Amino acid sequence: MTETAAAAPPSTESRPRLAKDKMGVFSVAFFVFAAAAPIAALVGSTPLIFAGVGPGAPLVMIAAAILIAVFAVGYLRMSRRIRNAGGFVVLVSRGLGNTAAGFAAGTVVATYIGLSVGLWSLFGLFAEGLFAEWGIRIPALLWAVVGVAVAGFLVIRGIGVSLSVLGVLLGFEIVCIAILVVGILVNTPPSDFATPSVMLEGAIGPGIGIAFLFTFAMFTMFEAPTVFSEEARNPERTIPRALYLVVTVIAVLYAVSTWAISANVGNDVIAAAAAENPDAFIYGVAAATVGDWFASVLSVLVVVSFIAMMIAVQNVFSRYVFSLSRAGVIPRGLSGVNARKSPRIAAVVVAILIAALLAAFMLAGVDPFTLYSWMLGVGTTGFILVLTIASIAVIVFFRKPGNGRGGAWSTIVAPMIAGLGTLGVLLLVLFNYEFVGGSDAAAWLLLLLIPVLGVIGAVLARRGGRRVDFSDVIES
């Protein structure tokens, strides 16, 4: 039997809220495209996906996109009734009650801690290597901490400023990916491109779990449209359109580029080649197909792309902290906003937390690339778990009296397929998790961050009782 969410207070007018009607369909979609950071994902994640499934990488990406699109059917049907920056957490509270929402909240926090620390550590590594070529030797930790501070500043300045910066960066990324793909097409015979049977043979193997892990990492920001529902114009139409547009474009972009890269390197050797030197793999392809000059341009753009991605990640993470604070799960003082209606206090706390964790790991001697693998594993595993919980919440929500039944496809079938699918992916990931950290126990210990923070969140939500309130804040 599920718990009933706490009733809303008599008035919500005094509760802090974010800026209203700031983003349309293309603004939201644009933000998420930039958050996906195509160049950073191509350089940082695709080598690890290739190492797992070789020429099967495009199929894995398409399968992940289809599963997310199916999940979105029920998710969006329910999200029409929600205008709150709490995203998945608010959805779980409406379906399964506040205790389950508290567990989801802890899982989401673990997810964004993992994504933030992992991706900033890889950014630091790439920045250190790039500037070392120019004779500037600054350690990865310092680059990462400076990046965290810059992203935090842009979050505080408001979503409009973030969008302006992200827009310029995204334009450069798309152009570079197009140049790379064209360069490959010019230098690769058509007969070298993998057929569906070759891709399927590559995808079905022991590396599929880890391939799904890093593929889902490339889609983690697809939930951003609903997190920005408070700030969107006409969210009932804006959010669904933006979400489906994002999933479709990202899937096509990554599937086509990985199909081309696999053909150029060789479908039979792509897995071994990517595993041998993952952090330099794409640079090698760029140099061989377009030229050394392009590999140099790409190395600069990767650093810039990471900044774009992390501006988006910290925007979403800060809004989650803001929402949890406003709901009363964590101290309400963290829900303070500035004159631009940006989550000022949450942004500062998030930046300090990420910088402190980066410093703790790197000063302890953890290699930045190892830290990236460990923490991205935590972040993506948490993300997949939240998708599974949210699928259950959608089904339960529409079975409750007064919530409307809707169509069977959107309220039962699609959420059930999504729930079983994401659960299956979660099990694949866990059974193959040794590929993330090898024999190192630290990778498994860090994974415990998910259940630990989940339980803490559930306890806080349950102890808060009626004071915990995930209701929408509507401004007349």
Alpha-carbon 183 to chain mean position: 29
Q: Give residue-wise pLDDT tens across range 290-331.
A: 998 998 888 888 888 888 788 888 888 888 888 888 877 888
Q: 25-462: CATH homologous superfamily?
A: Amino acid/polyamine transporter I (1.20.1740.10)
Please say if the pLDDT value at position 6 is more than 60: no
**Which residue from 124, 5, 136 is spatially nearest to 400, judged by alpha carbons?**
5
Please say if the pLDDT value at position 333 is more than 50: yes
Q: Give residue-wise pLDDT tens across range 401-430.
A: 766 666 788 888 999 999 999 999 999 888
Amino acid in the structure at residue 194: A
**CA-CA distances (angstroms) from residue 174 to 63, 254, 290, 329?**
23, 12, 16, 40
Please tell me which residue, 318 or 465, carries the higher pLDDT value: 318
Please tell me which residue, 87 or 165, carries the higher pLDDT value: 87
Amino acid in the structure at residue 182: V
Average pLDDT, the chain: 82
Residue 365 tokens read as 């001697």
Q: Give residue-wise pLDDT tens across range 170-184.
A: 777 888 888 999 989
Please say if the pLDDT value at position 471 is more than 50: yes
Q: Looking at 1-5, 111-115, 456-460, which range is the least confident one?
A: 1-5
Mean pLDDT of 109-116: 94
Q: Give residue for tokens 């030197």.
A: 277
Burial class of residue 448 in the structure, from the number of CB atoms within 10 Å of its CB (0-12 exposed, 13-18 middle, 19+ buried): exposed
Please say if the pLDDT value at position 138 is more than 80: yes
The C-alpha atoms of residue 44 and residue 38 are separated, in whole angstroms, by 10
Q: Give residue for tokens 């993300």.
A: 383
Please say if the pLDDT value at position 3 is more than 60: no
Please tell me which residue, 293 or 79, carries the higher pLDDT value: 293
Residue 412 tokens read as 């039962």
Alpha-carbon 459 to chain mean position: 26
pLDDT band at 98 (very low <50, low <70, confident <90, very high): confident
Please tell me which residue, 198 or 21, carries the higher pLDDT value: 198
Write down the pLDDT at residue 301. 85
Amino acid in the structure at residue 331: P
Please say if the pLDDT value at position 277 is more than 80: yes
Domain residue extents for the chain: 25-462
Sign of CA dihedral 99, 103, 109, 111: negative
Residue 14 tokens read as 């005094």
- Please report the DSSP string for 355-380 in residue order: HHHHHHHHHTT--HHHHHHHHHHHHH
Please say if the pLDDT value at position 448 is more than 90: yes
Give Rg (Cα) of the chain. Answer: 21
Write down the pLDDT at residue 124. 92
The C-alpha atoms of residue 328 and residue 82 are separated, in whole angstroms, by 18
Write down the pLDDT at residue 299. 86
- pLDDT above 90 covers what percent of the chain? 27
Write down the pLDDT at residue 312. 80
Please tell me which residue, 224 or 22, carries the higher pLDDT value: 224
202: enclosing H helix or E strand: helix 196-203
SS3 23: strand
In DSSP terms, 23 is beta-bridged to 232
Please say if the pLDDT value at position 167 is more than 90: no
- pLDDT above 70 covers what percent of the chain? 80
Name the pTM for this structure.
0.84
Alpha-carbon 59 to chain mean position: 20
Write down the pLDDT at residue 473. 45
